[in-house]
Amino acid sequence: MPLAVGLVFLLCDASVTRSADRPAQVPDVPLVGLALARFHTLTRAERALLEFADKSNIGRGEFAIAGTSAAPLDPSNDPKNAAVWPHDRDIRADLIRWLATDDAAGARVDHDRIHILGARIIGSLRLSRLRIPFGIKCVRCAIPDRIELASSEIPYLNLNGSYIGEVFAPDLSVHGELSFANDEAFSDLTDGTFDASGLVDLYGAKIDGALDFDGGHFHYSDKAPQIFRKLRMAVFAAAAQVRLDVNACCGFESDGDFEMPEASIGADFNCMDARFINPNNSALTLVETNVGGAIVMTPHPYGPSGRFESDGMVNLWGAKAGYLAVAQATFGGKADEAHGLNANGISVHKAFLWQDVILANGAMLDLSGANLGAIVDDERSWPQPGKLAIDNLTYDSFGFAPFGTSSPRDARSRLRWLGLQDGYHPQPYRQLAKVLRENGDDAGAIEVLVAQQDARFRNASWLGRAWARFLRITVGYGHKPMRTVQWSLAAILTGWQMFTLGARAGVMRATWPDAPPASEPVAYEKLHPLLYSLELASGTLLVARRQRSWRSRGHESAPQTERRRSALLPLDAGNSRMAAERDLCRGRHGTNEERLVPVDTFDQGQAIFTFHQGSAARKT
């Protein structure tokens, strides 16, 4: 009998112990009762979620606590240790889907209150093609399986500080914020590091708030579809529409391509203190993306002084933005790999900031075809020779007041900039000359245009280089026409000296008339060497050549004398000079029976006159 009593006592004690260890399944709120009817058993984390979400829970806190601490940064809530979390921290993905699809359950859910801290979500979260009536916030949770939100509609989604796998959410519509971030990245309220081990696909998503990746770590996955594997893509948000900012800053890292081409961003694309790593491939792609505010690649002004870094190509070609600010940034990569900034055809209507930039190992800067407002840069940020592409680049000025005005703006500095191009391209020279002239530096503009011709003939044949040298020295390739006046003055002064010395040496003599009678003095104007030199250099005179022969009447047997001479005749004085010659010859030789008959012939602008002496009856 005592043995039987003892046995019963032990059995009762064991039953009480097992009851204490087993979670109570008594519904405290209506939503828990509905869930028990559907799933039969609930973990402690699931009960906490249902009690938190029920409308009757007026005094709920910030989160449904799945673990042992309500502090997000408590080590017990670190999702990287989720593999060793107890089973009681599990929440089945099907339970969350049931809340979103079951009418009775949905009627009990506070539409703004599915907030979970430190839970492990079991199974794929299949929420595609649903109109989810409540926002979801999973902070520091572990969601290793796929999250599916394709073509769904949700008030907001916040996965800050969580460790997740793949996200498949093309055409997702979010009425508020979509966040894969470290919340409050630079305060004590941070939710810890967000990490995505698979592709985050947000193709065509529409987000009425901000899209946040702040402080998050993203990785490409070998399990992604082949096209994404080939590009090593970590984030794909092509054609997404974001009404506010896209933030990928504050310790953000992407191990793989961050792709957001043909997207629309209402405010800023902010990647301050961010790292985009995808060697020999595209690391950041904003091709033909329209950004209403600024594209910012700088350190964060209020956080750690980390630089913007990339390893691979940053592709911004065809994008549009108000500002493009790149400062304290490093574009890295191996010398034999594609890396740098490709902003071919970008349109920045206010200012392009490019200062304190490191282009490592021959990184490329491609601004060809871009349209920039103002350029604010510094020489130490320029690429290596041959690594600058600026053909068809247009811009308005150098320097911009909000960014400072220290940008090099003189012609000599900017010619060094143009010299970094690979080969000769005429348009950058013309554009630089235009900007310098519009900003009041006419001399600098001429210097640039002369340098353009130097570059043009640099690889010409020796004859072409010689001709170019002549044009450069004489008229500056036509851009320095006043040099012709200088050369003319030099010729006039040189002729003045030569004619003065020649007159003094007796080698200058009168050439008209050719053979005056020795008995008759000939009146001849005095030689003025300066005027004579000016007359020769002025180009307003023509050379006139005359041939003259005469014969005295009654002396036909006398030897004929023929002489030729050349004289300089003013064009406007040709007729009066002819008359003077006629009168002089008539007065010297003749009678009324003798006369001069002019025979006029014009050849290529030169007046050629021949005079014959003869009788009135003789034919000339």
Does residue 581 carry a pLDDT above 60? Answer: no
285: closest CA among 257, 325, 251?
257
Read off the pTM. Answer: 0.75
| Residue 514: predicted pLDDT | 60
- Residue 98 has which token pair? 């049931």
Does residue 214 carry a pLDDT above 80? Answer: yes
Does residue 549 carry a pLDDT above 90? Answer: no
pLDDT in tens, 341-393: 999 999 999 999 999 999 999 999 999 999 999 999 999 999 999 999 999 99
- E-only strand ranges, 335-377: 340-342, 347-359, 364-366, 371-377
- Greater model confidence, 574 or 275: 275
| Residue 512: predicted pLDDT | 60
Average pLDDT over residues 226-231: 82
Q: Where are the domains of the chain?
A: 46-363, 481-540, 541-620
Average pLDDT over residues 132-150: 95
CATH topology of domain 541-620: Ubiquitin-like (UB roll) (3.10.20)
Average pLDDT over residues 442-454: 87
pLDDT level of residue 188 (50, 70, 90 thresholds)? very low
- Greater model confidence, 365 or 527: 365
Angle at CA 298, nearest 5°, toward 296 and 299?
Answer: 135
| Residue 346: predicted pLDDT | 97
Backbone angles phi, psi at 206, to 5 degrees: -120, 120
pLDDT level of residue 212 (50, 70, 90 thresholds)? very high
Average pLDDT over residues 62-67: 92
- Greater model confidence, 244 or 528: 244
Distance, CA of 308 to CA of 210 (rounded, Å)? 21
Residues in the chain: 620
- Greater model confidence, 533 or 405: 533
pLDDT in tens, 451-498: 888 878 777 788 877 776 777 777 666 677 777 777 778 878 888 888
pLDDT level of residue 598 (50, 70, 90 thresholds)? very low
Q: Which residues lie across from 320 on neighbouring strands?
A: 290, 347
Omega cis (within 30) before 513: yes
Distance, CA of 32 to CA of 12 (rounded, Å)? 29
Average pLDDT over residues 158-169: 95
Own/partner long-range contacts of 415-421 (Cβ < 8 Å, ≥24 apart)? 415/447, 415/448, 415/451, 416/379, 417/379, 417/382, 417/388, 418/390, 418/448, 418/451, 419/385, 420/382, 420/383, 420/384, 420/385, 420/386, 420/387, 420/388, 421/386, 421/388, 421/389, 421/390, 421/391
DSSP for 478-544, please give it. GT-THHHHHHHHHHHHHHHHHHHHHHHHT-----SSSS--TTS----PPP-HHHHHHHHHHS--EEE
Distance, CA of 48 to CA of 28 (rounded, Å)? 11
| Residue 13: predicted pLDDT | 41
- Greater model confidence, 79 or 616: 79
Helix (H) or strand (E) holding 330: strand 320-332
Average pLDDT of the chain is: 80
Does residue 403 carry a pLDDT above 90? Answer: no
| Residue 604: predicted pLDDT | 38
| Residue 417: predicted pLDDT | 95
pLDDT level of residue 191 (50, 70, 90 thresholds)? low
Question: pLDDT above 70 covers what percent of the chain?
Answer: 75
- Residue 219 has which token pair? 């990785």
330: closest CA among 351, 361, 293, 302?
361
pLDDT level of residue 539 (50, 70, 90 thresholds)? low
